[in-house]
Amino acid sequence: MTRVLILDPLWPLDVGMEALDGIEVTLEQTDRIQGDDVVAVLVAPMQTIPANLLELVPNVRLVGTCSTGYDNLPVQELSAQGVMCLHVKSYCDAEVAEHTITLAANLLRGVAQLDGFVREGGWYPYPREPRRLAGSRLGIIGFGRIGRLVAMQGDALRMEIIAYDEFVDEATMQSLSVQKVDLDTLLETSDVVTLHAPLVPETQHLMNARRFAQMRDDAYLVNCARGPLVDHVALGDALRMGVIAGAAIDVYPVEPPPADEPAFGWPNLILQPHSAWYSAEARLAPYRRQIADLARFLRGEEPEGLIMQPEGTR
């Protein structure tokens, strides 16, 4: 019998299983990776696989992560050895875009800060001047699916939208009422900078001390993408020294963050528990889609979430 290992202990085994009807396969929820009859391994978001995976399960032909981001998988290495790598496309794009705009609005309007002010007995004068969203400049770094949704929602709020993405042409951005700019211009002129780039070696610490220094001292940063896009040491320095006005982060270099996470003590910072993806509608969607893709793979069809074609077959 063909076996599929699910390494995520929280995976709901009652979700999406109808897609496997008529397919002879055994799904095994386990933390033990072994067996010549294992053809696929599925993991949780951010969960990694051992470097010697192919020694443990020599006949594995598919590895999938139950998330849109796939920096937890060694895609190049596995693909070079004929293993398919899967992720889940687009299941929470709307949620992440909405969360991003919500945080941007919170920062500009000072919602969290004013809430704390009232709870401490304050009323007037206010501790800061809230800013108007309409007419504020929203700078989007990374203009993929989520970046485009953020642009559409920002435009609906009458914000001025600019974006930086080396791989998206000017005409595409203009079709969404977005001005294409270089990264320097975006950082130097935006009221809010929001990150929607993938995590690859070239984007590691994309936001560092030099980049923060380019931002205005009344500007804000939002990161609902990947924690390592931001150098957190540099972010802490920028907040403490007033280099930027504030930030909102939903993702961290290490998740969950340790109890001594430096960010907990930084001023003018809104913290979220990697929850931008979450909604009642999105909660189970990645599991259903991953099982549906597993069924396609087992039937000999191409999965919808295939990251790249493997080199050869196993």
Catalytic residues: 226, 255, 274
CB 266 within 8 A of CB 245: no
Q: Quote the CA–CA distance of 250 and 271 in Å, as a whole number.
A: 6
Tokens encoding 261: 């996470």
Surface-to-core class of residue 129, CB atoms within 10 Å of its CB (0-12 exposed, 13-18 middle, 19+ buried): exposed
Buried b vs exposed e over 270-305: b needs ≥16 C-beta within 10 Å?
Answer: bebebebbeeeeeeebbbbbbbbbbbbbbeeeebeb
Let me know if 192 is exposed, middle or buried by CB neighbors in 10 A (0-12, 13-18, 19+).
buried
Q: Which residues contact 53 (CB under 8 A, 6 or more apart)?
A: 33, 41, 60, 63, 78
Biggest CA pair distance of the chain: 71
The SS3 of residue 83 is coil
166's tokens: 């080396």
* 116 touches 93 (CB < 8 A): no
Which residue type is seen at 6? I
Dihedral over alpha carbons 99, 202, 51, 91 (to 10 degrees): 30
Which of 179, 13, 145, 167 minimizes the C-alpha distance to 68? 145
- 157 is written with which tokens? 């709020």
Q: Are 297 and 303 in contact (CB under 8 A)?
A: yes
